[in-house]
């Protein structure tokens, strides 16, 4: 489970610093501003560590990192380490399987005991295996023949993935596909007669509806834990690593390890895949968890099963932030979007766009905010070029950048 941290301090905008996001704009590829790395150990489970970022006026999150040896693994800034390449064996795609969204039953609400009994067999443990550590998360059984839904960040950087069913059997999983922007992944195991969850329509949710979450908080020792709460907000826009996600907000307690688990309505239907929670250094934050709505899950999962990727999303391959008035006055920066990082493999990097550059215009249109830049980019298609006017240490220059497929840049 990813956790947010708020912090009122931020880095010097002239020092682009560290950015571990995939350059989203996790939908649009101009992201949050530069972040400072903090490491927080979970006292409840000695093997657990969670890497958390604090950003200036923003929220940052990172994936669950659990030690395979039972000791906390050191975390370094991006400038000191390389990301392990994901080499999980791929499953074939295009078998015609799709996610079914069932209508809301015309019957009384189920008790919490009923909801648990109806869903617990559909909740699995995910073990993402790395070179010297392991990611532990949760997954939801989608089909009898072994399709499993989880979060992309649970398996990011892993070389192999195992799925543990409720009967304790361990199954090697193949990767069907994953999408960093929506934080979803689909796995496939060789199994028959699994107990798939029933998925419901997230569009029917209303603030105040009762929900339950089932997952594996803090790892497998506490697997199959259920918490309950209400829907506290719908279509909450949350910026994660530069991607804007429209999420369900809930008061149901979520913790590290719940990532990829189920958010369930009062009729026992899965209406969301849990992925985030909010935390604070100096304030107690309770009851602020988030889940990916099934409206998003169906679109992405169907695309991943069909093609292995979600295509058709143009990306500049940069992350950045809107230059504030105070920064303009203090550092002599012009209004625009300051580049925080440039993705490897992007045409922006090939064309020499650098962290610290300020984008002041795109295709001849003045750019004074990240939203304006995104609006221009999203009118374009993959393969088209966008002309950027950049400010760099007092000088102006232009670069023509070809938009690339978003999925080609995800870690």
Told to judge if 56 belongs to the known catalytic residues of this protein, a careful annotator would answer no
Q: Is 183 a catalytic residue?
A: yes
Catalytic residue among 110, 153, 171, 267: 153
Q: Name the active-site residue from 152, 202, 259, 341.
A: 259
Catalytic entry in 62, 64, 162, 183: 183
* Three-state SS annotation for the chain: CEEEEEECCCCCCCCCCECCCCCCCCCCCCCCCCEEEEEEECCCCCCEEEEEEEEECEECCCCEEECCCCCCCCCCCHHHCCCCCCCCCECCCCCCCCCCECCCCCCCCCCHHHHHHHHHHHEEEEEEECCCCEEEEEEEECCCCCEEEECHHHHCCCCEEEEECCCCCEEEEEEEEEECCCCEEEEEECCCCCCCCCECCHHHCCCCCEEEEEECCCCHHHCCEEEEEEEEEEEEEEEECCEEEEEEEECCCCCCCCCCCEEECCCCCEEEEEEEEECCCCCCCCCCEEEEEHHHHHHHHHHHHHHCCCCCCEECCEEEEECCHHHHHHHCCCCCEEEEEECCCCHHHHCCCCCCCEEEEECCEECCCHHHHHHHHCCCCCCCEEEEEEEECCEEEEEEEECEEHHHHCC
Can 162 be counted among the known catalytic residues?
no
Enumerate the active-site residues.
153, 183, 259
């Amino acid at each position: 489970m990813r956790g947010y941290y708020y912090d009122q301090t931020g880095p010097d905008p002239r020092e682009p610093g560290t950015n571990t996001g995939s350059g989203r704009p996790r939908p649009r590829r101009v992201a949050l501003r530069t972040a400072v790395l903090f490491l927080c150990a979970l006292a409840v489970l000695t093997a657990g560590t969670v890497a958390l970022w604090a950003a200036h006026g923003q929220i940052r999150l990172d994936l669950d990192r659990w030690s395979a040896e039972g000791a906390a693994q050191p975390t370094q800034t991006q400038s000191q380490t390389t990301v392990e390449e994901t080499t999980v064996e791929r499953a074939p795609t295009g078998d015609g399987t799709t996610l079914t969204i069932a209508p809301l039953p015309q019957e009384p609400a189920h008790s919490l005991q009923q909801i648990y009994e109806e869903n617990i067999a559909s909740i699995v443990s995910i073990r993402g295996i790395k070179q010297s550590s392991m990611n532990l998360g949760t997954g939801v059984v989608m089909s009898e023949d072994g399709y499993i839904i989880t979060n992309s960040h649970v398996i990011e950087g892993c070389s192999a993935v195992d799925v543990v069913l409720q009967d304790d059997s361990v199954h090697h999983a193949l990767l069907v596909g994953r999408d960093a922007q929506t934080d979803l992944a689909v796995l496939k195991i060789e199994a028959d007669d699994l107990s798939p969850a029933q998925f419901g329509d997230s569009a029917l949710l209303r603030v105040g509806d009762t929900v339950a979450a089932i997952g594996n908080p803090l790892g497998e020792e506490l697997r199959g834990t259920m918490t309950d709460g209400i829907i506290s907000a719908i279509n909450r826009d949350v910026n994660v690593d530069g991607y804007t996600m429209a999420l369900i907000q809930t008061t149901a307690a979520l913790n590290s390890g719940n990532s990829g688990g189920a958010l369930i309505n009062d009729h026992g239907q899965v209406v969301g895949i849990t992925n985030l929670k909010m935390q604070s250094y100096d304030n107690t934050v309770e009851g602020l968890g988030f889940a990916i709505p099934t409206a998003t899950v169906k679109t992405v999962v169907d695309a991943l099963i069909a093609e292995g990727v979600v295509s058709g999303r143009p990306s500049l391959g940069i992350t950045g932030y809107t230059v504030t008035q105070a920064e303009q006055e203090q550092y002599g920066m012009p209004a625009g979007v300051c580049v925080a990082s440039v993705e490897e493999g992007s045409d922006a990097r090939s064309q020499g766009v650098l962290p610290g550059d300020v984008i002041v215009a795109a295709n001849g249109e003045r750019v004074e905010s990240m939203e304006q830049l995104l609006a221009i980019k999203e009118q374009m298609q993959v393969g088209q070029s966008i002309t950027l006017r950049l400010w760099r240490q007092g000088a102006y220059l232009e670069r023509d950048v070809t938009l690339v497929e978003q999925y080609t840049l995800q870690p």
